[in-house]
Amino acid sequence: MKTVYYHIDVNSAFLSWEALYLLETGQLDYDLREKCAIIGGDETKRHGIVLAKSTSAKRYGIQTAEPVIKARQKCPNLIVVPPHYENYVKRSSEFITLLKEYAPVVEQYSIDEAFCDMSGTQNLYGNLDEFAYILKEKIYKTLGFTVNIGISDTKFLAKMASDFEKPDKVHTLYSDEIREKLWPLKVDDMLFVGRQTALKLHKLGINTIGDIALMDKTLLEQNFKKQGITMWNCANGKEMPGITGKEVANRGYSNEVTLPHDICDAGVAKTVILSLCETVSARIRVDKAYISVVSVGILDCEFEYHQKQVTLCEPTNITETIYENAAEIFDKLWNKSPIRLISVRCAKAVRENYMQYTLFGQEKNEKLSKLDSAIDSIRQKYGDDSIKRACFAKKAKKDDNSK
C-alpha cells in the first residue's frame, strides 16, 4: 500500500478567519483579504505585533511578528484589526471536522494546519494528487477560506511542500523529488531551522538544504548536537514521528503580559504574576492535569530576557501553590531593571485521577483545591469578572480614582 500524507495549511489563517467573521457579523462590507490589512495587537498597550497579513500587505514587505508601527511605516494605509481568538478556535474546529470526513487519520499540527494520512484511500478517491485539488475546493466552498496542500510519502516532506508557492496551491514533494525540489532551497527555508541556526550554518559554508543532506552526519552532530542529526535526516527525506490520529496531551501551559508601562515595584510585579498564575492554573484544571515545573520569564526595558524555573516536589494544579513558587522565582530572578513583560509557564503536565499530598500539607491543599474548584465554577457560570481577589479589586478602584 502506497503511503501518502497530506499536509493542509490554512492560508493567512487568522486574517482569513477574521475577514469571514467581520463579513458574517456585518461589521465590514469588504473582505480584509483583498486589502492591505493585518491582524495585530494593541499598539497603545505596547504589544502591537503583526499576527497575520494579507497578500497585499506581504507585497509591502510586512512580516509576521514585526511591530505594527514598522508595518505602518511600510504601508501608510494599512488596516489593522484586533484578533478574536474564540473565533479562530471555532474555525479551526470546523476545519479539522471537515478533514475527518475525508481522511481516515487526521493529526492536528497547530490551530491552522493538520496532517492527513491518506494511505489506502486510492480505491475510494482515485489519484490522490488529483484528489487534493478536489479537497482544496471543498474546503473553500464549505468553510470560505483557502488552503495549501503538500503531498508526500513522509510527513516532513509534505510539510515542506505545503510551504511552496502560496496561496491556494497544491504541491508534491515525494522522496524521489527531493534532489530537484528540496535540495536547492536555502537552509533558512527548512523546518526546524531557526534564525540563529541558519546563521551558524551559513558561517560553516552550508547554504542549501542539499548541503546539509550531503554533509557528514557526524560533523553536523558535533556542531549542532541532536539538532544536527534531525536536520540531516530531514534533508534526506527521512520521516518525522508517525501520525497517530490521537490528540496530543498538552504538556505545558503559559501566559504572558506586556505591561502598559515599565514597572520597578516588586509588589506590582507579583500582582501581575498572581493574575497570570490564575489564568494558567484554571486552564490546567480544565484539562484535569497537574504540573511539576513552574518558570517565570522577565523582559526588561533593554529587551534582555531572563528566565528561571523550579521543579516541584509533587505535581499540582492549585493556584496558590503555583503562585508561591512563581513569586519565589521572581525574587531570585529580578535584577531590579524596569520590567516590560512578565511570563509564567507551567510544564511537565500529567493527568491523574488522584493526588498524593505530603502528610503535613494535605489538609491545606484539600481546602485550596476546593476553593479553586468553587471559583472556577462561579466564573464559568457568571463570567471571569464575577469573582475577584481583593488585591485586583483594590487596584481597579485605585485606577478608576486616578482617572
Q: What pLDDT, on the 0 to 100 scale, is given for residue 240?
A: 63
Q: What pLDDT, on the 0 to 100 scale, is given for residue 244?
A: 59
pLDDT range class, residue 8, cuts 50, 70, 90: very high
Stretch among 107-111, 220-224, 237-241, 281-285 having the lowest mean pLDDT: 237-241
Residues 6+ apart with CB under 8 A from 12: 33, 52, 53, 54, 55, 167
Q: What is the pLDDT of residues 391-403, one digit of tens each?
A: 544 444 455 455 4
Q: Are 264 and 182 in contact (CB under 8 A)?
A: no
Region 323-342 average pLDDT:
93
Residues 6+ apart with CB under 8 A from 31: 19, 23
Of 170, 199, 204, 164, nearest to 185 (Cα)? 164
pLDDT range class, residue 327, cuts 50, 70, 90: very high
Stretch among 74-78, 114-118, 236-240 having the lowest mean pLDDT: 236-240
Q: What pLDDT, on the 0 to 100 scale, is given for residue 11?
A: 92
Q: Are 318 and 372 in contact (CB under 8 A)?
A: yes
pLDDT at 354 over 50: no
Interatomic CA distance for residues 345 and 253, integer angstroms: 6
The string of DSSP letters for 338-398 reads PEEEEEEEEES-B--S-----TTTHHHHHHHHHHHHHHHHHHHHH-GGGS--HHHHHHHHH
* Highest mean pLDDT of the ranges 221-225, 371-375, 381-385, 399-403: 221-225
Q: What pLDDT, on the 0 to 100 scale, is given for residue 103?
A: 94
Stretch among 9-18, 305-314, 321-330, 358-367 having the lowest mean pLDDT: 358-367
pLDDT at 384 over 80: no
Tell me the average pLDDT of the chain. Answer: 83
Stretch among 137-146, 221-230, 387-396 having the lowest mean pLDDT: 387-396
Region 279-297 average pLDDT:
87
Q: Which of 18, 94, 107, 113 does the annotation list as catalytic?
A: 113
Q: What pLDDT, on the 0 to 100 scale, is given for residue 256?
A: 81
Q: Are 160 and 23 in contact (CB under 8 A)?
A: no
Q: Are 193 and 201 in contact (CB under 8 A)?
A: yes
Q: What pLDDT, on the 0 to 100 scale, is given for residue 191?
A: 79
Q: What is the pLDDT of residues 174-213, one digit of tens each?
A: 999 999 999 999 999 887 787 788 899 999 999 999 999 9
- Helices marked H in 163-265: 178-181, 195-203, 209-214, 217-224, 226-235
Q: Are 135 and 102 in contact (CB under 8 A)?
A: yes
Task: Examine the residue annotation and report whether 34 is marked as an active-site residue of this protein.
Answer: no
pLDDT range class, residue 245, cuts 50, 70, 90: low
pLDDT at 390 over 70: no
Total number of residues shown for the chain:
403
E strands within 64-214? 79-81, 105-110, 113-117, 147-152, 170-172
Q: What pLDDT, on the 0 to 100 scale, is given for residue 179?
A: 95
Interatomic CA distance for residues 52 and 58, integer angstroms: 10
For residue 242, give the 3-state DSSP assignment: coil
Q: Are 27 and 45 in contact (CB under 8 A)?
A: no
Of 365, 397, 392, nearest to 379 (Cα)? 392
Task: For residue 230, give the amino acid letter.
Answer: T
